[in-house]
Amino acid sequence: MSKLVQIIYISRASAAPTKSGNAVDPVVARILAKSRANNRKNGLVGVLYFGDGCFFQCLEGDEAAVNTLYAKLEQDERHRDLKIISRTTIAAPTFKDWSMKYVPIEQDMAALLRRHRLASFDPYQFTPAMTADLIELLHKTPEPMPEPVVPSKNRKAPAGIRGETVTARSRLPLVLIGLVSLAVIGGLLAIMMRSSG
**What pLDDT digit, counting tens, does each position of 28-85 carry?**
777 777 777 778 888 898 888 888 888 899 999 999 999 998 998 888 887 889 999 9
Q: Based on the structure, what is the number of domains in the chain?
A: 2
Lowest-confidence pick of 51-60, 104-113, 122-131, 171-180: 171-180
Q: What is d(CA 132, CA 24) in angstroms, rounded to the nearest whole number? A: 24
Q: Inform me whether the pLDDT recorded for 177 exceeds 60.
A: no
In a domain, 154, yes or no: no
Predicted confidence at residue 18, as pLDDT, reads: 59
In a domain, 118, yes or no: yes
Close Cβ partners of 130 (under 8 Å, ≥ 6 residues apart): 112, 116
118-159 per-position pLDDT tens digit? 888 999 999 999 999 999 988 888 766 544 444 444 444 444
Q: Verify that 108 and 189 share a domain, yes or no.
A: no
Phi, psi of 192 (to 5 degrees): -65, -40
In a domain, 50, yes or no: yes
Mean pLDDT of 79-96: 90
Q: What is d(CA 100, CA 47) in angstroms, rounded to the nearest whole number? A: 5
